[in-house]
Amino acid sequence: MMRFPVILFCLSHAIRAEVVTAIDPSDDLPRGKTVVWSPLFQATWDAMNKEIGGKSLKVEPPNELMARLDAFKWEPDKVMPKGSWKVWSGEATKSFLDTVNKDAAAMTGDAEGPFKLMEQVPGGIACFGLLGREVEFRKAFFRSRKVPLKFGAAKTEVFYFGTNKDLSAGYGEDVKVLAFRPVDGSHALEVSCKEAGDKVIFYRPPAEQDFATACKWLRKWRKDYVVNAELPGTWRDRLLHVNDEVRVPYVSLDVTTDLSGRLQGGRFYGNAGDPWIIRRAEQVTRFELFEKGASVRVEASIEDDPFGGYSGPTTVPRRFIYDRPFFVFLWRDGAEWPYFGVWIGEATALQKFK
């Protein structure tokens, strides 16, 4: 039987070999690498399945990653930020592409849309996805201009932002301490943004974890979060207090990753187009984190061809120092999953101190 291809790719810009793209939150994190993940890829994958006629009945030979993508259950409208993302699907024609790029350009404010068709095959379909979001902290942090943060085992000197001493007490509930565990050096902070429902979460785990495990812990801590009036100033205080110290490195990355090698196998849907083959897969991600907030941009495309100052009580100083590998998540209130995550496994994406 002749095999016809399925093409899947997510677009971004310049390639950096040090940064890896995770397709699924359960992907293992390669040691010593920075890794990005967004469920926009999942949303585009879901649009592909819907356009073809539902989830595939089988994959030959079996592919564990594609099985996870087909089985993933989530609520996109709760997870993804309203008005900042969209997926399109339709016949793979220039007319459809022009419509998508016009819509995308209106969302981003760019002169032209970012998408393209690799090949037009009669009866083929194309699916595209776009995520673009900028968030601003309710209360900005402070930039360190004279002293670097020494990151990781190599003690790479990088720029950072944060707060310290009396200033730490001024954030109120704009910064929540989700976890602080001196026994293993792990901690997590949730920072509120001016955009309704948006949070930025910094999480330094006790050891390397995949995105799914990190999200499981953060879901629990967010659910269990309660401000206890009896704990201010102690190590269990759920808010920042006097003499607490926060240091977070600046992050800037722009990466394109070829994913086609991980998505091999014929996809059978029980229709005349079987089997469908993914012959191109790619993801592009832009992300920046700085003292005032964060911005993220992810573009996704799929082509499917058929057939083939303060004075308070005595406090316990705490240090929320992100000087070893840590996660950053963009997460909405009430959502089970973040809409973007990055694991800073090394210093590639950090601003080197000068």
pLDDT tens digits for range 270-282: 988 888 877 667 7
The percentage of residues in the chain with a pLDDT greater than 70, rounded to a whole number, is 91
- Which is nearest to 28 in space by CA: 209, 217, 285? 209
Question: What integer pLDDT is reported at residue 52 of this predicted model?
Answer: 87
pLDDT-derived band at 150, boundaries 50, 70, 90 = very high
State the CATH number of the domain containing residue 53: 2.30.39.10
**CA distances from residue 31 to 15, 68, 260, 316, 341 in whole angstroms, order as listed:** 19, 22, 21, 34, 17
| More confident site: 183 or 8 | 183
pLDDT > 50? residue 65 = yes
What is the reported pTM? 0.90
Across the range 4-26, mean pLDDT stands at 59
Question: What integer pLDDT is reported at residue 258 of this predicted model?
Answer: 79
**CA distances from residue 101 to 9, 39, 65, 299 in whole angstroms, order as listed:** 16, 21, 29, 11
Residue 45: phi and psi, rounded to 5, are: -60, -45
Letter string b/e over residues 114-135, b meaning 16 or more CB atoms within 10 A of that residue's CB? bbebbeebeebbbbbbbbbbeb
Q: Which domain holds residue 16?
A: 1-354
Q: In Å, how far from its chain's centre is CA 73?
A: 17
Question: What integer pLDDT is reported at residue 14 of this predicted model?
Answer: 35
The span from the CA of 151 to the CA of 208, in Å, is 16
Amino acid, single-letter form, for residue 198:
D
- Which is nearest to 322 in space by CA: 217, 237, 200? 200
pLDDT tens, position by position, 128-145: 899 999 999 999 999 999
pLDDT > 50? residue 311 = no
The span from the CA of 298 to the CA of 186, in Å, is 29
pLDDT > 50? residue 243 = yes
Question: What integer pLDDT is reported at residue 125 of this predicted model?
Answer: 77
Across the range 198-203, mean pLDDT stands at 98
Pairing of strands 245-249, 160-163: antiparallel
Question: What integer pLDDT is reported at residue 337 of this predicted model?
Answer: 98
Sign of CA dihedral 80, 81, 85, 86: positive
* Overall number of domains in the chain: 1
The span from the CA of 247 to the CA of 161, in Å, is 6
Question: Within 13 Å, how many C-alpha atoms sit on residue 154's CB side?
Answer: 10
Question: What integer pLDDT is reported at residue 228 of this predicted model?
Answer: 80
Longest dimension (CA), the chain: 77
Question: Within 13 Å, how many C-alpha atoms sit on residue 324's CB side?
Answer: 12
Question: What integer pLDDT is reported at residue 217 of this predicted model?
Answer: 98
pLDDT tens, position by position, 204-218: 999 999 999 999 999
CA dihedral 315, 319, 320, 322 (to 10 degrees): 170
Q: Label residue 152 left, alpha or beta by phi (over 0 means left) and psi (-120 to 50 means alpha).
A: left
pLDDT-derived band at 92, boundaries 50, 70, 90 = confident
Token output for 17 = 């070999």
The span from the CA of 202 to the CA of 184, in Å, is 16
Amino acid, single-letter form, for residue 10:
C
**CA distances from residue 171 to 199, 204, 251, 268, 336 in whole angstroms, order as listed:** 14, 20, 22, 54, 26
Instruction: Name the average pLDDT for the chain.
Output: 88
pLDDT-derived band at 10, boundaries 50, 70, 90 = very low
Task: Answer yes or no: are the C-beta atoms of 351 and 159 closer than 8 Å.
Answer: yes
Task: Answer yes or no: are the C-beta atoms of 328 and 251 closer than 8 Å.
Answer: yes
